[in-house]
Structure 1
Amino acid sequence: MSDRPTVHIVDDEAAIRRSAGFLLKKSGYRVEAWPSGVEFLKDVRSAAEGCILLDIRMPVMDGLDVQQALIDQGVTMPIVLLTGHADVGIAVRAMKAGAVDFVEKPFDIAVLLDAIEAAFARLDDKERYAASAQEAALVIASLTPRERDVLEGLARGLPNKTIAYDLGISARTVEVHRANLMAKLGVRSFPDALRIAFAAGLGIYPN
């Protein structure tokens, strides 16, 4: 059993720890659960290598604080964030800081498992992910200038309405550009589009 990959669930909600833990164990993962970022950070040095399923909204230390503390300690385990719909802008910031993916609550098991698998792929193949900037730039080059503007706004964590205002277009037009650019990038999820954007250097200046 010890060779099973480990997922560390860090969430202050016991129900989330139980439900996510059950589903991940059923899918073949070893699970360790932590009720707070503070508790996880106390033991992270002795924790098994794996990936971290990290809630954004927690008392004392939120997910971004925990992520920064892990970076400061040199902990390189890949992070998947659990987030509410209103926290997408925060999740974008976390992805800029190196998080692999984010999953919105209430989570779909298939989406969660895909994110966890991506995290372990990052752990197993760090060199390939580090060398992706050139490929990302080539894909971004296929976008129209307006599609690139929309992707830039998304990579900065801006909502559609703000992007629409900044570009002088309607929110509906932003949605159309967003759908088109995702098709051109060959991705099905927003986090996948963000990974390409960040690899190509988009969204690098503060909001």
Structure 2
Amino acid sequence: MNTPKGTIYIVEDNDSFRKSMVRLLQMYGYKTVAFEAASDFLLQTTLERPGCILLDVRLPDMDGLELQKILKQQRFELPVVFMSGHGDIPMSVEAMKEGAVDFLPKPFDPEDLRDAMIQALVRSRYEMEEEQERAEINVLIDSLTPREKEVMRWVITGMLNKQIAYELGTSEKTIKVHRSRVMQKTKVSSVPELVRLASKVNIEPMGGS
């Protein structure tokens, strides 16, 4: 099985178990960074991507679920794989509802760990690509004038030029010009493409909620 590239951040207070996780994951070819406590991990100002967090539920300063929520609030949204020797069903359900990739009860099979890391890093790579695509789309959107942005929101409703012209109190010819510029600047060739582009950056059709 191919090993996706990425950094795995291990947060585990048990010294011997933490070291064994480092050795195992490095044997699989991963870069690892290990921490004894959640507070130590939170001192990190930047996190490498693609990456994921292998997080123990029971930590001396805060539990892993609390750390997961803090990271989401701070927008450090690396995929999380939980591990616990004390985990129960409600805890695992809460972890998964908060977006965890997996919940591994200790002791777990090394192959289960490897599978979870692969899944987490694949997700991280996908999220990176999605984020980059949204950034590129926003650059295109920012190149539009305010009027072109307004016309774009009408266009993605599916309305015809003459209908949009009526709504805006202008001529069909003017709307046609604006529409052409919108398509050119956003580098799309059809309305369905423009709809998909707008949805990627949460631009609502005119009249949408």
TM-score, with length taken from structure 2: 0.56
Residue in structure 1 matched with residue 32 of structure 2 by the alignment: 31
- The structure-2 alpha-carbon separation of the partners of 1:57 and 1:114, relative to structure 1 and needing over 3 Å to count, comes to same
Residue in structure 2 matched with residue 116 of structure 1 by the alignment: 117
Deviation at 1:84, TM superposition (A): 2.3
Aligned length: 126
**Structure 2 runs not aligned, ≥5 long:** 131-209
Matched, 1:48 2:48: yes
Secondary structure of 2:76's counterpart equals: coil
**Structure 1 runs not aligned, ≥5 long:** 130-207
Deviation at 1:20, TM superposition (A): 0.8
Percent identity, aligned pairs only? 40
Deviation at 1:58, TM superposition (A): 1.0
Matched, 1:68 2:73: no
- Code of the residue aligned with 2:47 in structure 1: it is A
Secondary structure of 1:99's counterpart equals: coil
CA contact (8 A) 2:87 2:105 kept: no
Runs of 4+ in 1 over 4 A off after TM superposition: none
1:18-167 paired onto structure 2 within 5 Å: 18-43=19-44, 45-49=45-49, 50-84=51-85, 86-126=87-127
CA contact (8 A) 2:57 2:87 kept: no
Secondary structure of 1:98's counterpart equals: coil
CA contact (8 A) 1:80 1:119 kept: yes
CA contact (8 A) 1:25 1:31 kept: yes
Larger Rg: 1 or 2? 2
RMSD: 2.2
Secondary structure of 1:59's counterpart equals: coil
